[in-house]
Amino acid sequence: AKSSGRNNFQFYTKEMNATSGERLSLESDLWHALKNDELFLVYQPQIDLRDGTVIGMEALIRWQHPKRGLIAPMDFIPMAECNGLIIPIGIWVLETACRHNLQLQKEGLPPIRVAINLSARQLSDRNFVESVQSVIEAIGLDPHYLELEVTESMVMHNVEDVVVTLNDLNKMGIQLSLDDFGTGFSSLAYLKRFPIDRLKIDQSFIFNCDSDPGDAIIAQTIIALAHGLKIKVIAEGVEKSEHLSFLKKNGCDEGQGYFISRPLTFDDLRMFLLTGKNP
């Protein structure tokens, strides 16, 4: 048993070396990905649960790697946060999402908001507010159609500075949402200090909201809390018609998830908005 334990250990260290080597090359590849146009955004529609109209979309980043194929954000965003590349990548995301959203409006579609995900490092960057301001001005999107998503753990960190930043963004007319709500450290005491427009109920509470009484009460409580604070509430991870009926019955404002639509390429999104049909 001992010797097999040792073998396992050796095997494990080899694997670890391979992995850190891979990580190194992936890291240098990411430097090139931006300028080689290997990054792109997909958009997941968000609907008003009262009438089913599309009122927004969330931009989600993808990396089409020339050798490794499609890479999910979880496999490169943490690395980009570590090495600082998240700053230029974040600006690219903001520019691209605003440009696409304005293009839809220019094509005559009913205006909707686009939400982008922020990382902790962007929010604490001293130039953040200024760079957001200059991007939306350069592109010419009405800031009311831009939404920034932050998580509880991001705002709990360095609360005083974050309040200033979020207030600046709010004054510009940008919408702010609190992502993955319910999974981070409790921010209930701070909730009223942040100019948050929307809470996003984390998908982990939605998956079994129709069958697990605990998840149901959590979702209902988040909806009541949000409405009590005059904040909108959106559910993510809406995968089944049962989720949709639960959320409608309980007064949730908006929804997003595979049952409504998967994240779509920009062209497929445009088709979805034009025809109401999922390509």
**96 touches ligand C2E (CB under 6 A):** no
Enumerate binding residues for Ca ion (CB under 5 A). 117, 149, 170, 179-180, 197
d(CA 124, CA 164): 11
CB 61 within 8 A of CB 93: yes
Question: By C-beta, is 1 or 70 nearer to ligand C2E?
Answer: 70
Of the listed pieces 137-145, 157-165, 232-240, 264-272, which binds ligand C2E according to CB under 6 A? 232-240
Which residue number has the CB closest to ligand C2E? Answer: 257
Q: Which does 197 bind (CB under 5 to 8 A by kind): ligand C2E, Ca ion, none?
A: Ca ion
Closest separation in Å from C-beta 77 to ligand C2E: 5
d(CA 194, CA 183): 18
**242 touches ligand C2E (CB under 6 A):** no
Print the SS3 string covering 163-197: HHHHHHHHHCCCEEEEEEECCCCCCHHHHCCCCCC
Structure tokens at 104: 């839809």
**61 touches ligand C2E (CB under 6 A):** yes
Beta strands in the chain (DSSP E): 39-48, 54-65, 69-71, 113-117, 146-151, 175-181, 198-201, 232-235, 254-255
Closest separation in Å from C-beta 11 to Ca ion: 36
* Closest residue by Cα to residue 151 from 189, 184, 198, 114: 184
**74 touches ligand C2E (CB under 6 A):** yes
Question: By C-beta, is 29 or 147 nearer to Ca ion?
Answer: 147
Closest separation in Å from C-beta 108 to Ca ion: 27
Closest separation in Å from C-beta 203 to Ca ion: 7
